[in-house]
Amino acid sequence: MIRAVVIDDEMHAREEMETLLREAGGVEVVASCANAFDALKAINKFRPDVVFLDIQMPMVSGFELLSMVPQEIMPHVVFVTAFDEYSLKAFEEKTLDYLLKPVSPDRLKKTVAKLDEFLGTDKPTAFKAETISRIPCLIGKRIKLIPIDDVEYVSAGAKGNHLVTGEGEFFTDLTLKVFEERTELLRCHKQYLVNMSFVNEIALLENGLGMITTPSGTVPVSRRFLKMIKERLLLR
């Protein structure tokens, strides 16, 4: 059974896609999401084989969402969109398939067959995520988009990952590995990444350790990364 997540900000479109997938057979919809924030949680939790993803969504687009998914759990991607076929030619090499709204049941069956064929091989998912420009962070019942250039550092703790800016500290579902691979933040510790543009100073401590000071806090530097951080500071 193919495990899928449906992502679209329009409830009617999500319900229609779920119905079409049930009728096509061989697909289990493990989550249905109205926004990128919930979708990222669902992908991290369920690790689906495929996402049926709308490109144009409020606040965070389908492309931005994919930039936040760890590559090791990146599902196959089927874009479901109102874009015309000509515009979608640019996506063909990046994704498994695309479907034009309103989705044709016969066209969807071809997509499911194609997906079934791919899952029977050891081919990696086609989509390669691009760099991150904004990070969605949950604040109560609101989602705040933080520009990556405003982030001083990111830390991992027992209750999750947090990023720190001049405005304060915010929770994020993005992993440190995603930050490391798709932003300019540098690893300085097993549990920390830092934006070198905000480094005011680095204190050299005993046992080959260090401590970075940014406008909003301090960040530890482990022995493993101290040499690299010092070199980067000298090159600034």
Query: Is 80 exceeded by the pLDDT of residue 89?
Result: no
Predicted local confidence at residue 86, as pLDDT: 47
The set of residues, in sequence order, having a beta carbon less than 8 Å from that of 234 and lying 6+ positions away, is none
Predicted local confidence at residue 94, as pLDDT: 64
Model pTM score? 0.83
Query: Is 80 exceeded by the pLDDT of residue 87?
Result: no
Q: CA-CA distances (angstroms) from residue 123 to 68, 86, 96, 155? A: 21, 27, 11, 34
Predicted local confidence at residue 88, as pLDDT: 59
Query: Mean pLDDT across the stretch 47-75?
Result: 90
Residue 86: exposure state from Cβ atoms within 10 A (0-12, 13-18, ≥19): exposed
Query: Mean pLDDT across the stretch 127-154?
Result: 89
Predicted local confidence at residue 159, as pLDDT: 80
Could you report the per-residue pLDDT of 170-185, keeping only the tens digit for each?
A: 999 899 999 999 999 9
Residue 194: exposure state from Cβ atoms within 10 A (0-12, 13-18, ≥19): buried
Give residue 103's pLDDT band: very low, low, confident or very high (50, 70, 90): very high
Could you report the per-residue pLDDT of 58-68, keeping only the tens digit for each?
A: 888 888 999 99
- % of the chain surpassing 90 pLDDT: 65
| Closest to 78 (Cα-Cα) out of 2, 15, 133, 23 | 2
Query: Mean pLDDT across the stretch 14-29?
Result: 96
Give residue 120's pLDDT band: very low, low, confident or very high (50, 70, 90): confident
Q: Where are any strands of DSSP class E within the chain?
A: 2-7, 27-33, 50-53, 76-81, 97-100, 134-139, 142-147, 153-157, 160-165, 168-172, 186-189, 192-194, 201-204, 210-214, 217-221
Phi and psi for 193 in degrees, rounded to 5?
-130, 150
Predicted local confidence at residue 71, as pLDDT: 86
In this structure, are residues 57 and 9 in contact, taking their beta carbons and an 8 Å threshold? Answer: yes
CA distance 55 to 13: 13
Query: Is 90 exceeded by the pLDDT of residue 85?
Result: no
